[in-house]
Structure 1
């Protein structure tokens, strides 16, 4: 019997290895999975089942388009009266990647800490007349979570229809530990709720790999929010960190329709409810002229839209490239692009947190420092609390704000959402904030890395082996 089970396990390992190799994925990710499965087969097979399988990506994309749920004309790029823009070719590349057009009738506001963002969002929610759509990765049962819950309940009692879409893994606390937290809201007839790819057995399912990391709020189809902040006290007051630095974007205008489109696609994916009705895309009420292009990334996209946008921004940089990221686990293409940009003479500056929130990911991120420094990239460690913002600024051409980290999971697995900003005012504001943050950071040098004990360098390199998996 023991011999038979061993032979069965051997056949299973060989079969899975053949499938992994046949997928033609990134060689680094393929090698990492093969190592784990061959040397620790039982654990490796389980991890691959939960985290490694990517069979849903093309199937989900084709299923959404086959369902014909999109409004008429949503797949065509609308005509633009801004044909002389320097960024036009970049905008067209992004459109071909994700079918989201650049829009130029918007008002924008950027928030770099949680308190002013939360206050403004609650003000907008209290002014809602028709509907409020919310989509978050994390919603905690704390003071901040209660403030939002109570504001939404008040609007539901006034007749506003509210739809809430949450990731069950990210919201595991209210899913399993504080089940009654949202109950006063969810029992109201004007509130619709769904988990995104829910876990039927707590924490364990094949779809655990495809998490919805998007942060979207759309109010009456006119005002929308996106960025890196979830709902919880730590995003407002810092939690276990002294402060929390992040980035959130408020939009009034055409780009709110783009975020509405992404939300409704996600809502359809979770509930199969078709809400593509003109009532959710009202005429824009703004005189703003800011340029915004929404970029969704994930299994519902044909291409790796956000990864391609980041790659193009790095390659387009001529003078300066500013990057703020809490995690740094780039694939080979992005790593090569960053090093090549620095070697071309571009002033590449990378701002990274000095204190980790996920230690193993931090070790893996640190393993990339030395080769980036050798190429001429300048790396700074932010020391004033935790740095959670995901920002990239390419000269005065384009800037990016959103939910996507500079790592494998954000770029190739999770459902993510970024906003590309084309207006000089927004780009300047993000650039100014970057240099303000540098006042609270220290520069990393090659000398200090070379003076690290061997075991720290080995620890970081070991963590890097699992880069495609974390």
Structure 2
């Protein structure tokens, strides 16, 4: 009985009721207005036409535009208003006002060493072009002298994360989409609490929506009580709002400025295979040690300073990689951590993926949990395969969301026809987001191949060029392929109703 009362009085239940009431009132109000007023019906119809014309002339993603145009045509009285309320994918102005100045303030610290770009250019002008693109359009410099350790599963990275946290003496920055109490988070929290008590500057950012069903409402207060400074990003409020579209999907851990962890691994037990909700959980990550860590530190600080104004004027030079690591860094190859943001009109992450496919000569191996692609990405995958590149994609064998699993599979046929090889990870669910190509190029990070990751979320990744860790990812990819079942075109059968349902799913996918 106590648990039932707690649920009925809890944040999740009350939020659901409030959202349902708002949506019901909205639909009822509009239907009443349009029923009794010819003028208002005409107004909404004209509004829908004007929005369709606006969409045709806009620079939005074609799949996104087509989905809204068809929805507006199907609901001419409500479609235009629905778009105004929910369809504009641009970030809310409050987010822009807070985050853009913070990002600009840190931009002067992200300095590109031209000698490094020249060194890349001597071996490959196209690779230099991609690094220049990330630096010019995203502001993220490329570095040498950075060691990279690649992790093929979350439990291996978790062990090294604990070691790094235990060895922290000055500051710890964490930024995660999901935090869930359990073995993984509880062990990390115990270290963070001890370190904060010892005077280490411990800061935590978590996405409020990502952990909405996992953390109590009192979580930030509890962290502050422990000495862990805590920031819930874009707190969820029970109001129908576009602000809820833009989530912080990044996974970053920085220790003392010289060590950072990145990848698809959240702070929850399934990511280290302590629990098994969907079979074996396959994820990937990297540990960086060297000057390239600064890019991740800057990502964290730009978010922190935007919402914790009391720290906005702090001297960020105290967090530089060399401050607590005076000895020289070493490392082969080139490392370029980068972040993607919905605050600009540059689809940075998608363009990195497309460029890798366009440059590839021999192979591209891809891990992704969600293959929910638009025509631009589909054409890039197909074009690479058609010119003879061995393009292979590994998707989950056991789904975490059945409707998303069906949507992923609905994209198989045109890719298979073009020569792309698709595998499903039979031991369980693959949550990794990784690309590796031609023994030279790789990306490991948080960026899914779906509309939300590529257009709406704050994301991050680690781009590697001619680094030994690239071959570690390749070896893992080959091992993972050997454990996966290949999808054959001859075994894909669609009924007319099933094909129609899949088409509707693909049409609506960019809208939600």
How high is the TM-score relative to the length of structure 1?
Answer: 0.91
How far apart, in 2, do the equivalents of 1:320 and 1:5 lie?
Answer: 61
CA displacement at 1:300 relative to structure 2: 3.5
Q: Which is worse superposed, 419-428 or 298-307?
A: 298-307
1:132 is the counterpart of 2:172: yes
Match of 1:230 in 2: 266
**SS in structure 2 opposite 1:328?**
coil
CA displacement at 1:360 relative to structure 2: 1.9
Match of 1:32 in 2: 67
1:150 is the counterpart of 2:150: no
CA RMSD for the aligned pairs? 2.6
CA displacement at 1:95 relative to structure 2: 1.6
1:209 is the counterpart of 2:245: yes
Match of 2:411 in 1: 368
- Size of the aligned set, in residue pairs, is 465
1:277 is the counterpart of 2:316: yes
Match of 1:465 in 2: 507
Give the direction of change, closer, same or farther, for the CA distance of 1:167–1:276 in structure 2 (3 Å limit).
Answer: farther
1:263 is the counterpart of 2:300: yes
Match of 1:141 in 2: 181
Unaligned residue ranges in structure 2 (runs of 5+): 1-31
Give the direction of change, closer, same or farther, for the CA distance of 1:119–1:200 in structure 2 (3 Å limit).
Answer: same
How far apart, in 2, do the equivalents of 1:227 and 1:260 lie?
Answer: 15
1:456 is the counterpart of 2:494: no
Specify which of 330, 336, 345 is matched with residue 287 of structure 1.
Answer: 330
**SS in structure 1 opposite 2:213?**
helix
How far apart, in 1, do the equivalents of 2:319 and 2:76 lie?
Answer: 50
1:149 and 1:185 in contact (8 A); partners too? no
Specify which of 368, 372, 376 is matched with residue 333 of structure 1.
Answer: 376
Match of 2:433 in 1: 390
How far apart, in 1, do the equivalents of 2:103 and 2:217 lie?
Answer: 36
How far apart, in 2, do the equivalents of 1:375 and 1:222 lie?
Answer: 44
Larger Rg: 2
1:112 is the counterpart of 2:144: no
1:22 is the counterpart of 2:64: no
Q: Which has the higher helix share?
A: 2
Within-5 A mapping of 1:32-431: 32-40=67-75, 48=83, 51-56=86-91, 64=99, 66=101, 70-71=105-106, 73-74=108-109, 76-81=111-116, 82-83=119-120, 84-86=122-124, 87-175=127-215, 178-180=216-218, 183-188=221-226, 190-201=227-238, 204-237=240-273, 238-272=275-309, 273-274=311-312, 275=314, 277-283=316-322, 285=327, 286-431=329-474
CA displacement at 1:361 relative to structure 2: 1.9
